[in-house]
A and B are shown apart, each in its own frame.
Chain A
């Protein structure tokens, strides 16, 4: 068939031209375009395309660059190529990927394994060759060229192009490695900069090598001020410095690490001398060379406050339970027990008087009967105060109705859900209302009080509102704090609004996702 166009330079010069192009093209995204243009112009073929394997391990080739000689209209074929995705072995580039060798097709329009045959025919393209871009790890991609002539394979050209493919491959590989490195470095810096924890790197002499933005904010030193300074003087309070240094030296001399790689809680010091609790972990950096250490510090002031509040709240709850037991013992002793003693004495007196003074004995027996009745009532009241049976059997609705009926003064139950809730929730609501009503009758001078209980949005909410004199202070007296502790123990919230002269409103909300039905187990 036709021979090549006239005045084709010897193939070996193409290699030099490509080398020159690679060396002088800046901008890694323009390399393919420049290389395609170089090869295309030197060899007189009309169209060229570069394909890359999308990410190592992914199974497809995609077209990343396209070139056509001036005066050639190949927009349709370009669009088709850019849209085409080829697996290993598929189409011309796919074949080259699979074999690792260059390939020549005399006429693509009649080739059985050419995915874009229709597009090529429409563009008037016939002959094509393709060579692999090879790096040290294997095939990275492929470059193909097309012409309108139908041509038989040119082995010399193919051999030359194979060498060019290696040239390009090494270049692409180096560029990919550099970009990966730059990305990694950028990523590392972004991670350190964004970290909420303080990150301090130091050398084996204890001098700061790196000081991230969180450390700058927390301790009050700029990174430039911190770097090169001894870490102990920047961060550790004077009382702890010697121990820290001793530990570090011990480790460097080959001793067992005592402080390394454990989470320690200790006191750190800011630039202004103020001290605060931190959680610290020190790890040795696992790279060759002299020892370096990274310290991760987290300001745990808030956590410590929360822990202390939790501990204090638990202690208050336990003390409240103990105080309740003491009160119970006293109430039993003073109430029902005293009655039973009187009862026993009346009966003994009556017995002693029976023969000589039957009428007097009768009086003692009447006293005994009356004491017994009062003792029974007192025991019932006591039991009701401990835990009313109506609450266990019937839930909040009947229990609150009873509670408000017995309360002194005017108390109105605005609303109460008819559902049953887990026993701890019902108990908490009941006893908070009971104590609130007691407070109202003792302190508030109110004309009326309203109680409302609702179940909505997965919470049981209660409100006790009175129109009394207000001024209730949760920090004085343990009653309000006891209610708050009870509610907090169930992860609930508790608040008191009590402006002086403006009445008092207690609000509590306890999370409770589901009501209890008859079939479900009760606590």
Chain B
């Protein structure tokens, strides 16, 4: 059973690559968003199981979006943060955001995502 996935990144090229890669590895990409506002509304509308979320978004920090998605009770999507930058540079900010973890863009693959979301 494919895991439903929302891809959030302002770079359309990256969204296309991620979709092609992950759809071949057991994920069903149900939507895409290019900014924080779009991400929150698509999470609300599509209820994906996993959100692949770029930290560098044009309107608001991805960390803040992650916090909003994961706070509160009920069925909440698992957020995996991604970035072209090294995850270590964000340090403790990552754990405070509520995300399950971080996968660098160049290391992106289905196995890495599954490891984090369980």
Which A residues form the contact surface with B (CB < 8 A)? 333, 337-338, 340-342, 344-346, 348-349, 352
Contacts and interface: CB of A to CB of B under 8 A. Distances in A.
A258 B8 CA distance: 69
Given A333-B56, A333-B84, A341 B21 contact: no
Nearest to B108: A345
Given A348-B21, A349-B20, A342 B13 contact: yes
B85 A342 contact: no
12 contacts: A338-B13, A340-B84, A342-B11, A342-B14, A344-B105, A345-B17, A345-B18, A345-B21, A345-B105, A345-B106, A346-B17, A352-B21
Contacts of A341: 14, 84, 105-106
Contacts of B40: none
Given A348-B21, A349-B21, 20 more contacts: A333-B85, A338-B11, A338-B13, A338-B84, A340-B84, A340-B106, A341-B14, A341-B84, A341-B106, A342-B11, A342-B13, A342-B17, A344-B106, A345-B21, A345-B105, A345-B106, A349-B17, A349-B20, A352-B21, A352-B24
B109 interface: yes
B27 to A, nearest CB: 14
Contacts of A340: 84, 106
Contacts of B17: 342, 345-346, 349
Contacts of B24: 352
Given A333-B56, A345-B106, A345-B108, A338 B21 contact: no
A344 B108 CA distance: 10
A114 to B, nearest CB: 105
Contacts of B18: 345
Given A338-B11, A341-B14, A348 B84 contact: no
A342 B12 CA distance: 10
A345 B106 CA distance: 6
B109 A348 contact: yes
Complex A-B, nearest 9 residue pairs according to Cβ-Cβ distance, in ascending order: A345-B17, A344-B106, A341-B105, A341-B84, A337-B84, A342-B13, A349-B21, A341-B106, A349-B20
B14 A338 contact: yes
A293 to B, nearest CB: 62
B9 to A, nearest CB: 10
B55 to A, nearest CB: 11
Contacts of B105: 341, 344-345
Q: Which of A337, A341, A346 has the most CB of B within 10 A?
A: A341
A344 B104 CA distance: 11
A338 B14 CA distance: 8
B20 to A, nearest CB: 6
Contacts of A338: 11, 13-14, 84
Nearest to B21: A349
With a 10 A CB-CB cut-off, give which of B14, B20, B84, B109 has the most chain A CB atoms: B84
A347 to B, nearest CB: 10
Nearest to B85: A333
